[in-house]
Structure formats: structure tokens, C-alpha cells
Amino acid sequence: MLKSFNYLQITFFIAICFLFSCQAKVSKKQMLQSTIQAQLDSIQGDVAVAFINLSDPSDSLFINASEEFHAASTMKVPVMIELFKQQKQGKLDLNDSILLKNEFRSIVDSSLYSMDIGVDSDDAVYNKIGGKVTLKDLMYPMITVSSNLATNVLIELVGAKNVTATMRDLGAEKIEVLRGVEDQKAYDLGLSNSTTAKDLMVIMKAIAEEKAGTKQDCDEMIRILKDQQFNEIIPFYLPKDVTVAHKTGSITGVHHDAGIVYLPDGRSYVLVLLSKNLEDFDKGTEQLAGISKTVYDHMISLTTEN
């Protein structure tokens, strides 16, 4: 009888400990959501957030994550994934060279248009127009300095429809890659690349977990993403020993960042921050960086409870 009583006591004690542990975990998650919601309420614009702790997928947060946004330059990550996929299929070799041109066709009526170096973020690629350049030497600036010229050449090569189809295969349900950049006729008709925070989270998670290609290809994608030169959002307030593999995107009133954040202790997480209708672009950007810091602080707080 005594043994039975002790067993019941121990079982009850374990159950209580488990209950308190769950409550502590829930409370941290609730604290994260309430803190970020307060930050969102202070932003003059529309924002979506998608976060997942890759060490514990139950630790996640989605706010407006299924709302559609103009993809801006975040669509360049799907293009990169498609390039590696087609290389694996034997359709191309990233070491191959092509003649670089600055002439593209609108998806509306096939009329010709060219990219304007004055509104692009990388003049180095323009210096190579008329000469041969390797696909990998276009892919790298497409991601790291968001070269629009490089993007248009590469998306024309792999095909926008193929890019979108590959994203569906990865589980991204809404993202649409319709065209390259600066197709004004398409833009005027509302034919733009679009995405959701959830879809970009799915895509970045697939890269982090080596499901967006071979291990070697995903490792190379991460290496390129870590060389991102625009660091005003996710990495901005994070410590120097934290590395971020990410891609930004911006147009008028829009500023995005989607990335994989690697902590020094080996843990990692995916964070996507999308915004539109920002009344004050610079202030909004700084506020988004503050949300990134809140997520980082949440991850650090999880180590202090163990």
C-alpha cells in the first residue's frame, strides 16, 4: 500500500512539473506575441510576421502571415533555388557563360524594355554588358546586392512559371513569380510578383533544412545569403556573433526581409518581416529591426530557462 501511495505521489509531482513547464513555455510565447503586436501597432503601415524556431517548430508566431504583399526583391531567392534545381536536372551549368544583354520583353505584349542603371543597385554588372559572364557571377549579385539586371537575365533563362511551380513543390502555396523587374506595362496592369510571410518562411526553412536542393546546393545558397549587403532589418540590432542568411526587398512604401538566423550556440530560426504602405520608410525600417531584436531576445530567453 505504501509503495502504491509513493508511486501516486511521484506521478502527481511529475504531472504538476510538466504542467508548470508547459505554462512557462506558453507564457513566453504569449509574451513574444504581445510584445510584437505592440510594436506592430506603433508602425504606420501594414506588416506581416512569420517566425519559427528550427530547434522547436512548436515555438512559432504568425501575424498576418497569409496576407499577400508585393514580393519586391525577395522573389530573387526562388530564382536562385530554381537555378540550382535546373543545374541538378542537367538543363544548365552555373559555370556556363552567356552573352550579357540589357534587353527584355514585357509579359504583357512582348514589347522590349531595358533596365536603368540609375535605379539599380549594382553598376558592376552593367559594365559587363556586351561581354560573356557566368551564370554564377550573375546569381551572386542578384542576391547580395539585389542586381535587377542580373535577375532579369536569370529569370528569363529559367522561366518564371518554373520558379513558381518549384515553390509550390516546396509547400509555398501563394507566392507568384510572374516576371522580372521593371516591366512597367505589367506593373501598370497589376501583374506583379507577390508573396506572403508564411510562404517566404517555408522557402527559407527549406533551404535551412536542405530540402530546397542537395546539401551542397543548400550550403552554397546559405553562403550567398550570408553575404547580403543590405542589413538594415533582421541583422541590424543583433550581436556580431549572430550570422544571418537573408534577402531583403524594397520599393516605395515597402520593405521586406526574410532570413535564417544562426545563433552561436548552434540553434537557428527563420524570421520573415514584410511591410507595405509605410508612411515613413526609414522609421518603419528601424521599427522592423526592433521586431527582429524582440525575436532574438525571445530565443535567448529560452536558454536561460533550461
Q: How confident is the model at residue 304, as a pLDDT? A: 61
pLDDT, position 303: 82
Can you tell me the mean pLDDT for 281-292? 98
Spatial distance between the Cα atoms of 112 and 152, rounded to a whole number of angstroms: 13
pLDDT in the model for residue 11: 42
- Across 45-60, average pLDDT: 97
pLDDT of residue 305: 55
Average pLDDT over residues 89-110: 95
- Average pLDDT score over the chain: 91
Q: Which residues pair with 249 in a beta bridge?
A: 256
Instruction: Pick the range with the lowest mean pLDDT from 135-139, 159-163, 183-187, 208-212.
Output: 183-187
Confidence of residue 8 (pLDDT cuts 50, 70, 90): very low
Q: What is the DSSP letter of 71?
A: -
- Residue 3 clears pLDDT 70, i.e. is over it: no
Reported as a pLDDT band with limits 50, 70 and 90, residue 290 is: very high
Residue 17, pLDDT > 80, answer no
pLDDT given for residue 182 in this prediction? 86
Q: Residue 85 in contact with residue 94, Cβ under 8 Å? A: no
Q: 94: pLDDT confidence band, cut at 50, 70 and 90?
A: very high
Backbone angles phi, psi at 167, to 5 degrees: -65, -35
pLDDT band at 80; cut points 50, 70, 90: very high
Domains of the chain: 43-304 (3.40.710.10)
| pLDDT number for residue 35 | 97
pLDDT of 51 > 70? The answer is: yes
What is the band of 119 on the pLDDT scale with cuts at 50, 70, 90? confident
Could you tell me the three cell numbers for 279?
Answer: 508612411
The torsion angles phi and psi of 6, rounded to 5 degrees, stand at -65, -40
Please provide residue 193's backbone torsions phi and psi, each rounded to the nearest 5 degrees.
-65, 135
Determine the Cα–Cα distance for residues 306 and 295; give it in Å rounded to an integer. 18
**pLDDT, greater one: 303 or 285:** 285
| Confidence band of 262 (pLDDT split at 50, 70, 90) | very high
- Look at 6-20, 172-186, 284-298 and tell me which has the smallest mean pLDDT: 6-20
What are the tens digits of pLDDT across the range 187-212?
Answer: 899 999 999 999 999 999 999 999 99
pLDDT band at 135, cuts 50/70/90?
very high
Average of pLDDT values for 159-172?
A: 98
Which has more pLDDT, 306 or 113? 113
C-alpha grid cell, residue 164: 513558381
Is residue 73 over pLDDT 70? yes
Cell of 293: 531584436
Whether 301 shows a pLDDT value over 60: the answer reads yes
What is the arithmetic mean of pLDDT over 153-170? 97
